[in-house]
Amino acid sequence: MAKMELTPEQQAILDGEKGEAMAKVMKTLVVYGETFGASKMVPVTSEYGHLVTSFGLSVMKPVYSLMDQLISGGALAGQKFSVDPRPLDKNVPSSLLQDLVFKFMYSKQSDYEEQLKTLGLLNPDAFTCTCYMDEVGNKPKKGDVLSWAESSAVVYANSVLGARCNRNSGILELFGSIVGCVPYFGLLTDEGRKATWVVEIKTSKKPEAQILGSAIGMKVMEDVPYVKGLTKFIGTELDADATAYLKDFGAATASNGAVGLYHIAGLTPEAVELGEKLIADGAKTYVIDDAELERVRASYPCIWKDADAKPKLCFVGCPHLSIKQLHDWTNALSGALEKAGRKKVAIPTVFTSALAVQAEFKKTPDYQKLLDMGVTLSYICPLMYMNNPLCGKQPVITNSNKLRTYTSARYHTDAEILDLLSKGGN
């Protein structure tokens, strides 16, 4: 592997002039960069970082021990950062036994949050997977170089905001924030942002964001897709509806595959600017029609013990909901309940979003309307909730393909979720 050219400052850190911990941080980044043929490091230019590891899971001792090494070695982040959602919220329905398991599982939560605070946590409420929401305030500019992790946030920042970030792993993203630079390769480069797949949407109606993203992720894996034919369904403006759609679509591409960047013809910033110049020579084609989406959906396994069980819980908001989605879900649910002659949801339901988004939502009449329907509003990470084996055994439903991928939760479309919440049933 070719050696990376380092600045005198970077070389000094590697040589141990700022201590052993900093030297190991730099060594990790250098070896990582050289693996991908990076010739140099480039400065991180975003105001804030974003970390994926938010949970004080008792079995993750190696991570906490590494954090201790960083702190004691003075290797603190040079930029503040937000973090993925907290794993626990007492407002989310759980039994006494489940609570006991949570207490054991996440026994390191407060210790870990102390470590995050010392390392550079933005503020005590900066826990969300959608840090790029206006209300949260960690929204990079087009062209910014990031050292982020969280697959759904990285793909959103790259694709919708036009920032530049590789699909960094947890821990590596913190290392970039600590030394203030990242290896220059992959999605940071113009060449790495070219599409090697052209996806043609030929469906008869607007595709479910979560299934479309899943289909593309499974097909292209970590490649960059250039998606044609979607603007006729979601428009040519990056408004609140389109960005919410792309948030959910992107999360599915990144969790069902490993997509870090997509271009939507006529919509996302680089596709608008460069058009089909973004398509690499020899790009492959993937045509998606109604039958293909149906085939993909039919491939999802259901691992409930009793496949016909009545759902006991419903999660909506993985990734966290935008304020527009909170309003839209509240009103759609209200309409569905009224039509069904009910006042409250038939299945205990949790909507999740960032605390800063909730603060704005709570100023509107829709908040009380949501509570009156019996829905819980939480900042939790549903995936972390489902990691509790007693919760994982429950029949849980969701409209999130990401949650489906990592847990036993069963996927339903938005329309099916509304139907189940308003009418009950299996």
- Site for other proteins, rule CB under 8 A: 1, 24, 27-28, 31-32, 35-36, 52-53, 57, 59-63, 66, 105, 149-151, 154, 166-173, 186, 217, 221-222, 254-258, 300-301, 303, 387, 389, 405-406, 408
Q: Quick one: how far is CA 421 from the chain centroid?
A: 25
Closest CB to other proteins among residues 301, 365: 301
Closest CB to other proteins among residues 59, 96: 59
Cβ atoms of 384 and 398 within 8 Å: the answer is no
Handedness of CA 287, 288, 292, 296 (dihedral sign): positive
Q: What number of residues does the chain have? A: 426
Q: How far is the CB of 309 from other proteins (least distance, A)?
A: 17
Q: How far is the CB of 151 from other proteins (least distance, A)?
A: 5
Q: How far is the CB of 32 from other proteins (least distance, A)?
A: 5
Half-sphere exposure in the Cβ direction for 175 (13 Å, CA): 26
Closest CB to other proteins among residues 146, 323: 146
Unique residue bearing structure tokens 């996302």: 268
Q: How far is the CB of 93 from other proteins (least distance, A)?
A: 21
Closest CB to other proteins among residues 63, 337: 63
Closest CB to other proteins among residues 54, 358: 54
Closest CB to other proteins among residues 155, 195: 155
- The span from the CA of 221 to the CA of 209, in Å, is 17
Q: How far is the CB of 239 from other proteins (least distance, A)?
A: 28
Q: How far is the CB of 154 from other proteins (least distance, A)?
A: 7
